[in-house]
Amino acid sequence: MKYLILLYGTQADARTDATDLLDDVNRELRESGEFVEAQGLAEPARARRVEHLRGVPVVTDGPFAETQEVLAGYWLVDCAGLERATEIAARFGGTADVREVECAAEVDLAPACVAMAELVMGTADDQLALPTPCTDYPVADLIRHVDEVAGGGAELGDGWRVRVARQLATLRRAWIDPAAWTGTGHLDLPKRTWGRIVLTELVVHGWDLATATGQPFDLPAGTLRACFDHVAEFVPNAPLPELWGPPVEVPADAALLDRIVALTGRDPR
């Protein structure tokens, strides 16, 4: 489940360097697979507050009173439940609100779309001809394929990174709608199955692209679990089995991402 942790502090706190603590927490969350997103906010002196008094907007510029608590940053985590989210919030040492994030879609594709967009933006021109673990596709063709999955499909040209990243954002928004998961789609497969196929394309080809270009590829545990559950059931019985290579054997306690790519015919070692 996803939780938003809102961290508060005073203007005096904004002058305190908490970089080491925040780096430690972020590292722990990435290692546990619970990290989704985090962002600190600018100091209150650069903030602006809008209130309504008798229906009239009143704007107040920062800085605010030294002791007044203001929003300092947020963390989006994907963890087991409210108790675990509370444990994470307590690590920051200040005042924090913990709120569950409601997601109407069956599976949240946002983390995989964002991670893929980051990989695309980080791919250099001189890497486009490199081979990838997906043997049919060098890097350039793999990115074209991802673009097609996202509903694009144009040739890579000027500004291709931004265009593909925007297409992935469009894909993310499309699958937020619960209606996208109902009914039947291509090959008479349920749309809820197609949503999981799209997720698998992003996860597996994200790993392909990250491996080929030497970039990090981190996904929350919930995203990986949803992908693994689909791959373990669907790939052995896929209507087009030629799309996947024979599974690669990995230890039972291997990382979830390694188990996913192994089931799709890739060697994670």
37 part of a folded domain: yes
Query: For residue 105, how many other CB atoms are within 10 A of its CB?
Result: 18
- Boundaries of domain holding 120: 110-263
pLDDT confidence of residue 176: 85
Check whether residue 126 and residue 43 sit in a common domain: no
pLDDT confidence of residue 87: 93
Q: Is the dihedral of CA 224, 3, 210, 203 positive or negative?
A: positive
pLDDT confidence of residue 63: 62
Where does a domain end: 42, 68, 100?
100
268 part of a folded domain: no
Check whether residue 72 and residue 123 sit in a common domain: no
Check whether residue 70 and residue 201 sit in a common domain: no
Check whether residue 122 and residue 189 sit in a common domain: yes
CATH number at residue 96: 3.30.70.1060
3-state secondary structure at position 243:
helix
Residue type, 32: S
- Judge whether 205 and 213 are in contact, CB under 8 Å: no
105 part of a folded domain: no
- Judge whether 137 and 131 are in contact, CB under 8 Å: no
Check whether residue 118 and residue 84 sit in a common domain: no
Alpha-carbon gap, residue 236 to 227, rounded angstroms: 14
Instruction: Give every strand in the sheet of 95-100, ordered side by side.
Output: 35-40, 70-78, 2-9, 95-100
pLDDT confidence of residue 66: 53
Check whether residue 92 and residue 140 sit in a common domain: no
Where does a domain end: 100, 130, 156?
100
Check whether residue 136 and residue 253 sit in a common domain: yes
Element (H, E) at 116: helix 110-121
Say how many domains are in the chain. Answer: 2
- Judge whether 202 and 113 are in contact, CB under 8 Å: yes
Check whether residue 152 and residue 57 sit in a common domain: no
pLDDT confidence of residue 34: 83
29-56 in b/e form (b: 16+ CB < 10 A) is: beeebbbbebeeeebbeebeeeeeeeee
Which ranges of the chain does DSSP label H, i.e. alpha helix? 11-14, 19-32, 82-90, 110-121, 139-149, 160-174, 191-213, 221-234, 256-263
DSSP state of 153: -
Residue recorded with tokens 């290579």? 245
Token pair for residue 140? 């350039």
Dihedral of CA atoms 258, 225, 88, 7 in degrees, nearest 10, equals 110
Check whether residue 226 and residue 178 sit in a common domain: yes
pLDDT confidence of residue 196: 93
Per residue of the chain (269 residues), what is the pLDDT tens digit? 788 999 987 766 655 666 788 888 888 888 887 888 888 887 777 778 788 888 888 887 766 655 577 888 899 888 878 899 999 999 988 889 999 887 656 788 989 999 999 999 999 999 999 999 998 899 999 999 999 999 887 688 889 999 999 999 999 989 888 888 889 888 788 898 899 999 999 999 999 999 999 999 989 888 999 999 999 988 877 666 666 778 899 998 899 999 999 999 999 98
Where does a domain end: 53, 81, 100?
100
Beta-bridge partners for 8 = 71, 95
181 part of a folded domain: yes
Check whether residue 77 and residue 121 sit in a common domain: no
Q: Compute φ and ψ for 254, nearest 5 degrees.
A: -65, 155
Residue type, 193: T
Check whether residue 48 and residue 116 sit in a common domain: no
By C-alpha distance, which of 70, 79, 5 is closest to 44? 70
182 part of a folded domain: yes
Element (H, E) at 3: strand 2-9
269 part of a folded domain: no
Check whether residue 128 and residue 242 sit in a common domain: yes
257 part of a folded domain: yes
